[in-house]
Amino acid sequence: MIVLLISQFSIAQTYDGTRAIAKRQFPWLAEKMQLKKKDKENGKDIFELSVSNDKLIIEASSESAASRGLDWYVKHYCHQSISHMGDNKNMIKTLPQIKGMIKKTSFVPYRYALNYCTINYSFSFYTWEDWEKELDWMALNGVNIMLAPMGTEMVWYNTLLKLGYTDAEAKAFIPGPAYTAWWLMGNLEGWGGPVSMDLMQQQVQLQQKILVRMKELGIQPILQGFYGMVPHDLAKKVTDARVIDQGKWVFTEFTRPGILIPTNREFERIADIYYAEIKKLYGSDIHYFGGEPFHEGGKSAGVDVTQVAKAIQTQMQKNFPNSTWVLQGWQNNPSDKILTGIKKENTLIIELFGENTNNWEKRKGYDGTSFIWSNVSNFGEKNGLYGRLQRFVDEVFRAKESQYGTSLRGVGVIPEGINNNPVAYDLMLDLAWYDEKPDLDKWIEAYTRYRYGKYNKSIVLAWKEFVQTVYNSPVDEKGNPLYQEGPSESIYCARPSIKVNPVSSWGTRKRYYDTERFKKAVGVFVNADKEFKNSETYQADKTDFLRQVLADKGDLLYKELVEAIESKNKQSIASKGDQFLTMILIQDSLLNNNLYFSLDRWINQAQSFGKNLPDAKNVLYNAKSQITYWGPDYNSSTTLRDYAHKEWGGLLGSLYYQRWKLFINEALKGNLVAAKTFYDMEVNWSAQGNHYPMVKLKNNALQELQKRVLK
């Protein structure tokens, strides 16, 4: 009897993190689960699923595999899911049966998530409630290693105080809450700040909760390592320091932090202080660190880069023995000189831009260094339907079967913003659990069932067309992917000009798909509207598809408007201009009917984040400036303006509408508006405390609007 009780207690305590996810997300299932430990199979993570006596039995080799098993059952048997763009959940009294047993293994040990930029474009103002769901989503999708540099502000603040900086001087180095990513990457310092002590302490408390929960869920955090980044004026405080001036980031717009030469004796001392502060705040159970020198144009002339890399990793290993340095495979990073100086067994490279490039192949598996194949898909969290789904499938398995397959150690998602295109993230993280390349059409059909709750012929037909249009994988005549940084942009969000191309500095307005074919597919999708009127996920996706149709139409109308302006035909300018402004307001009305496409959601997040802070007003300013002129506050021709623009209800109806209205009114007078005028509008809009709450249409009006969009 005692042995039996011990055995039952052991089972009850197995994989508590997974059981807790079920209680939070699928409470009807939580008490109907048996979770058992199972050995890895040939070193691979594994889960097995079966149903017996109305009990779901999950046998798994790790907490992460158990959570993935829970997700697999919920998606493929209960037809439910959670996502960044809506949830599809409901109570089930009797568990759906599984014929026999389902067995899945992960062919890679790492399932990775997040870009530095995601921390700001998506998570700048996350509270603990937001992070709870985020981490549940990560665990359910099998993520077991995640970038988590939140709360680094206090680490640096404490470090600088120990180096002789005053309170004000230390805070001047730290950016505002919407810009920490680019500070951590060594691109800027101080912009959007200063921040209060209260804000930094709030971030510490949040990060501590995050790290505890990540451990419960079997997700390894990647914290920010010390790679030599220091204030550009460090030599004023530490006279023996030798700092390499890193110049400006993005041409002339931001002063970059300096890089402390690692061969200087101060490097070891400052690294030790920095890592000691990490241990004080976040403990010693950290095994992965990010951060790298000379990122996106940094200067390394006159220094031995190989020795720099060696010194960085040596200090990392000294303070956190056997830790792994995680580097970004982006452009020419990491350079061959960096790879030469480091221990490959303690290095992991994230291949960032897999949908467009094949650096893993060109760099010969990064000279035998472990790498994770990832895709960015989204830049600046700009709205737009995009994700090269077939390429994800093809390229991952091409890498797996290549001569560099032994170096492929993971797959992952690394978007600059994750609140978009849930299909792209689901597919990418699913691939880790397929031994052979899956059929995309079959995968899509299964996706529609768990995304919306049941099979629907119209939805499946529409989605198969979406795969061939907005989610296609276009190539040139040589079979190489057509280069594109994120989704095709909407003209409504552009700073007005007669030559808008692109909307943001590195984006594109070009459509690599048949817009008419796509519009017809949206019409097929909308046929299911009545059947799914109460489905949060269907309504979110329907809004997104209609938004894209209207954005596509805007491109055509913009061309006609420009032609009218260039021909100086006032009657045509007035007519086309009125039509264009009306289209913006239609788009604004459409998007204001769904929380996921509203400025209201972002503003509410910022206000909730800052409600107990003395710098709450600056928090709101951070939120509004990031999605408009970005920064800095002295350059009207900044290339970063509109980089993170949003096609959102509230933003369209205010700033974007006013910009285009001014442009059209002046065009009627024969004038073109100077960029400085628009810049001033953007800065002023960001500084205002206006909220722009959602204004929803009544159902009949919304139905008429949908019909108008699809004409």
Percent over 70 (pLDDT), the chain:
98
**Whether the Cβ atoms of residue 62 and residue 437 lie closer than 8 Å to each other:** no
- Does any domain span residue 475? no
**Whether the Cβ atoms of residue 289 and residue 223 lie closer than 8 Å to each other:** yes
pLDDT at position 586? 97
| Single-letter amino acid code for the residue at 667 | A
- 501 and 368 assigned to the same domain: no
Q: At 561, which CATH number?
A: 1.20.120.670
Give residue 1's pLDDT band: very low, low, confident or very high (50, 70, 90).
very low
What ranges in 320-468 are assigned the alpha helix state H? 336-340, 359-362, 364-368, 389-401, 422-430, 440-452, 457-468
Q: At 58, which CATH number?
A: 3.30.379.10
- Choosing from 396, 411, 437, the residue where a domain stops is 437
- 680 and 694 assigned to the same domain: yes
- Does any domain span residue 178? yes
- 617 and 700 assigned to the same domain: yes
Mean pLDDT of the chain: 95
Q: Give the orientation angle of helix 570-591 with respect to helix 657-668, to 10 degrees.
A: 170
- Choosing from 343, 377, 395, the residue where a domain stops is 343
- Does any domain span residue 421? yes
| Measured distance CA(1)–CA(342) in Å, rounded | 56
- 316 and 246 assigned to the same domain: yes
pLDDT of 3 over the 50 cut:
no
pLDDT at position 253? 83
- Does any domain span residue 374? yes
| Measured distance CA(109)–CA(372) in Å, rounded | 10
Going by C-alpha positions, the residue among 373, 345, 348 that lies closest to residue 359 is 373
Percent over 90 (pLDDT), the chain:
90
pLDDT of 9 over the 70 cut:
no
- 329 and 252 assigned to the same domain: yes
What ranges in 592-655 are assigned the alpha helix state H? 599-610, 616-626
pLDDT at position 221? 98
**Whether the Cβ atoms of residue 474 and residue 500 lie closer than 8 Å to each other:** no
pLDDT at position 13? 57
- Does any domain span residue 294? yes
In angstroms, what is the C-alpha Rg of the chain? Answer: 26
pLDDT of 2 over the 70 cut:
no
| Measured distance CA(673)–CA(680) in Å, rounded | 12
- Does any domain span residue 49? yes
- 312 and 359 assigned to the same domain: no
pLDDT of 512 over the 70 cut:
yes
- How does pLDDT run across 446-473, given as a tens digit for each residue? 999 999 999 999 999 999 999 999 999 9
**H or E element at residue 567:** none
Sequence-ordered list of residues with C-beta below 8 angstroms from that of 305, at least 6 positions apart, any chain = 294, 335, 337, 338, 341
- 564 and 520 assigned to the same domain: yes
- How does pLDDT run across 124-136, given as a tens digit for each residue? 999 999 999 999 9
Give residue 11's pLDDT band: very low, low, confident or very high (50, 70, 90).
very low
Q: Which of 246-250, 342-346, 429-433, 453-457 has the lowest mean pLDDT?
A: 246-250
- 28 and 136 assigned to the same domain: no
Which domain covers residue 368, as residue numbers?
Answer: 108-147+352-437
pLDDT of 5 over the 70 cut:
no
Q: Residue 33: helix, strand or coil by DSSP?
A: strand
- Choosing from 105, 136, 164, the residue where a domain stops is 105
Give residue 638's pLDDT band: very low, low, confident or very high (50, 70, 90).
confident
The total of structural domains in the chain comes to 4
- 116 and 183 assigned to the same domain: no
- Does any domain span residue 465? no
- 636 and 576 assigned to the same domain: yes
pLDDT of 359 over the 90 cut:
yes
- Does any domain span residue 394? yes
- 131 and 176 assigned to the same domain: no
Give residue 6's pLDDT band: very low, low, confident or very high (50, 70, 90).
very low
pLDDT of 10 over the 50 cut:
no
pLDDT of 4 over the 80 cut:
no
| Measured distance CA(438)–CA(595) in Å, rounded | 34
Q: At 386, which CATH number?
A: 3.20.20.80
Q: Which of 173-187, 209-223, 427-441, 629-643 has the lowest mean pLDDT?
A: 629-643
- How does pLDDT run across 104-160, given as a tens digit for each residue? 999 999 999 999 999 999 999 999 999 999 999 999 999 999 999 999 999 999 999
Give residue 267's pLDDT band: very low, low, confident or very high (50, 70, 90).
very high
- 28 and 80 assigned to the same domain: yes
What ranges in 53-166 are assigned the alpha helix state H? 63-76, 118-121, 128-140, 152-162
Longest C-alpha distance within the chain, in Å?
93
User: pLDDT: is 638 or 511 the higher one?
Assistant: 511
pLDDT at position 237? 95
Number of helices (H), then strands (E), belonging to the chain: the values are: 27, 17
Span 519-532, mean pLDDT?
A: 97
